Amino acid sequence: MKHYPFILFYLFCNVFIYAFQGSSWVYLFTFFAFSAVVVWGSFDIGLGYFVNSITHKRTKVKEVALTFDDGPTEFTPKFLDLLKEHQVKATFFCIGKQIEKYPEIFQRIIAEGHSIGNHTLSHSNSTGFLSTSKMIEEIEKCDEVMKNTGNIKTHLYRPPFGVTNPNIAKAIKRTHKESIGWNVRSLDTIIDDEKKIYSRVTKGLKKGSIILLHDTSEKTYNVVVDLLVFLKDKKYSTFTVDSIKKSKKK
């Protein structure tokens, strides 16, 4: 279903070129239109253009997943205290270099029963331009840091920035990872207003939603404080992303 818009666009382009063959502007229009679609597919992980990512859980139960990217950081212990207080388990997609910086915090995440995901070694700003071999290195070196620091291995992987392309798709396949996306994006690294972040998350919630957050700021911590109260009031339970994979095997 996710690929239908792209298939229809491809068919439209072919019909369009056939109908107006010989006109150079038609080829130019088609080229730029196709390029726009590829860029769109690269940056919207939910479309599954290059990689089929898990973006939600199919469930009839009122349950959601809290996921935190880019840690561990100096703020992570506060998030862990809060989650422990509410008896909630989350999924942390950790950066290898951050684990090396805060090994004790990473070990605490594991000890308190949260799920772990690979978020590459360095979360490079040039992720979308890396070769397949470099992407594999980024994933495998993060795995190595996780193993050495927390004696843990994960099949979960979240692409930095949600960016996917053919090289990243190959790297995910060759490292035997499961790509994890989201269907509720808080934009907590972009928006400064805590109320706006909270509104984005709560308005977008559905049964089985995977929420993208970051354990990197006091701002997001304050949002999560209110979010956990909201989830309790609305009778939402929580699940960790690895449980989706487990449920598929049954």
What pLDDT score does 183 carry?
97
Spot the catalytic one: 56, 114, 123, 214.
214
What pLDDT score does 46 carry?
81
89 shares a domain with 32: no
Q: 23-51: string of b/e by CB count within 10 Å (b at 16+)?
A: eeebeeebeeeeeebeeebbeebebbbbb
The mean-pLDDT minimum among 32-46, 115-129, 137-151 falls in: 32-46
The boundaries of the domain holding residue 36 are: 4-43
81 shares a domain with 205: yes
78 shares a domain with 13: no
How does the average pLDDT of the chain come out, rounded? Answer: 87
Q: Is residue 51 part of a domain?
A: no
Q: Is the pLDDT of residue 163 over 80?
A: yes
pLDDT tens-digit profile of 184-237? Answer: 999 999 999 999 999 999 998 999 999 999 999 999 999 999 999 999 999 999
Q: Report residue 23's pLDDT band, with 50, 70 and 90 as the boundaries.
A: low
* Rounded Cα distance, 78 and 225, in Å: 10
Spot the catalytic one: 69, 70, 188, 215.
69
Q: Is residue 49 part of a domain?
A: no
What pLDDT score does 105 carry?
98
Q: Report residue 39's pLDDT band, with 50, 70 and 90 as the boundaries.
A: very low
Q: Is residue 57 part of a domain?
A: no
Residue 219, judged by CB atoms within 10 A of its CB (0-12, 13-18, 19+), counts as middle
69 forms beta bridges with 93, 214
Q: Is residue 110 part of a domain?
A: yes
Q: Based on the residue annotation, tell me whether 188 is a catalytic residue of this protein.
A: no
188 shares a domain with 94: yes
111 shares a domain with 15: no
What pLDDT score does 247 carry?
47
15 shares a domain with 119: no
**Structural domain count, the chain:** 2
Q: Is the pLDDT of residue 85 over 70?
A: yes
Q: Is residue 55 part of a domain?
A: no
Q: Based on the residue annotation, tell me whether 69 is a catalytic residue of this protein.
A: yes
Q: Report residue 78's pLDDT band, with 50, 70 and 90 as the boundaries.
A: very high
Q: How far apart, in Å, do the first and last CA atoms of the chain sit? A: 24
Q: CB count, 10 Å around CB of 144? A: 13
Q: What is the CATH number of the domain that holds 146?
A: 3.20.20.370
